[in-house]
């Protein structure tokens, strides 16, 4: 962590975070395979739909890459600026915003759950770990990735708020949770109607 970071560093890291998040690995892998991911399955660009379209192995690869693009910029911000710098929180949130609204793909992205977990692991690792574990358990119990993602986001916010109280990391966790819930609004409506398909 720099004792007195230059004023441009925080905004630069936030921009890097957004641009990293805007790289949609699901679409990259689908293009290599000659598959139109947006016209396959749910049409989502995330790891779950990639797994349906291209196989579980490719889906796991995309899940890891989506998490890494949240982790690496966030971890860089943590090391250079410190956990309590608002720009560190902004960098973490920007990675997920980039995934949801990517500049490289006409702002049509995914649901930001894996990238959000990566950002949390970089800045508030206990919350990120809790979110990942809850996701796995929630998906296994319900056979629906959306349930795991939503539950994981809410648990991550609770863990961060309980540990760090009203600080920039908690603001970031709140922003990530709001973004993930918003991007899952269609899933929430289908869950309420009992129409959410497994996957």
pLDDT tens figures, 38-58: 888 777 888 888 888 888 898
- Is 171 a domain residue? yes
121 pLDDT above the threshold of 80:
yes
Distances from the Cα of 173 to the Cαs of 43, 91, 131, in angstroms?
27, 12, 11
Total of domains in the chain:
1
Q: Which residues contact 65 (CB under 8 A, 6 or more apart)?
A: 25
Per-residue confidence (pLDDT) for residue 37, from 0 to 100: 84
- Is 199 a domain residue? no
Q: Are the C-beta atoms of residues 60 and 48 closer than 8 Å to each other?
A: no
Per-residue confidence (pLDDT) for residue 161, from 0 to 100: 95
Which tens digit of pLDDT belongs to each residue from 129-178?
A: 999 999 999 999 999 999 999 999 999 999 999 999 999 999 999 999 99
- Is 198 a domain residue? no
Distances from the Cα of 172 to the Cαs of 67, 88, 117, 168, 186, in angstroms?
16, 9, 12, 6, 23
* Rounded-to-integer distance, Cα 178 and Cα 150, Å: 10
* Rounded-to-integer distance, Cα 111 and Cα 48, Å: 11
- Is 33 a domain residue? yes
- Is 4 a domain residue? no
- Is 73 a domain residue? yes
1 pLDDT above the threshold of 70:
no
Q: State the pTM of this model.
A: 0.93
- Is 1 a domain residue? no
Best CA proximity match to 19, nearest among 110, 119, 96 = 96
Hey, how many other C-beta atoms are within 10 angstroms of the C-beta on 68? 18
Mean per-residue pLDDT, 171-192: 96
Per-residue confidence (pLDDT) for residue 103, from 0 to 100: 97
Quickly state the pLDDT bin for 2 (edges 50, 70, 90).
low
Mean per-residue pLDDT, 88-99: 98
- Is 115 a domain residue? yes
- Domain with 89 in it: 9-193
């Amino acid at each position: 962590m720099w004792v007195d970071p230059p004023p441009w560093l925080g905004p630069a890291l936030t921009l890097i975070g957004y641009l990293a998040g805007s790289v949609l690995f699901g679409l990259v892998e689908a293009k290599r395979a000659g598959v139109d991911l947006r016209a396959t399955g749910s049409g989502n660009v995330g790891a779950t739909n990639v797994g349906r379209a291209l196989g579980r192995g490719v889906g796991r690869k995309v899940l890891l890459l989506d998490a890494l693009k949240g982790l690496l910029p966030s971890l860089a911000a943590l090391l250079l600026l410190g956990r309590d710098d608002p720009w560190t929180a902004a960098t973490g949130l920007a990675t997920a915003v980039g995934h949801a609204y990517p500049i490289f793909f006409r702002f049509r992205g995914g649901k930001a759950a894996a990238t959000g977990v990566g950002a949390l692991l970089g800045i508030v690792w206990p919350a990120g770990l809790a979110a990942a574990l809850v996701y796995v358990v929630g998906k296994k119990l319900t056979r629906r990735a959306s349930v795991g993602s939503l539950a994981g986001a809410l648990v991550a916010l609770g863990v961060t708020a309980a540990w760090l109280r009203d600080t920039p990391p908690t603001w970031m966790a709140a922003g990530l949770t709001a973004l993930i819930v918003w991007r899952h609004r269609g899933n929430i409506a289908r869950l309420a109607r009992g129409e959410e398909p497994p996957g």
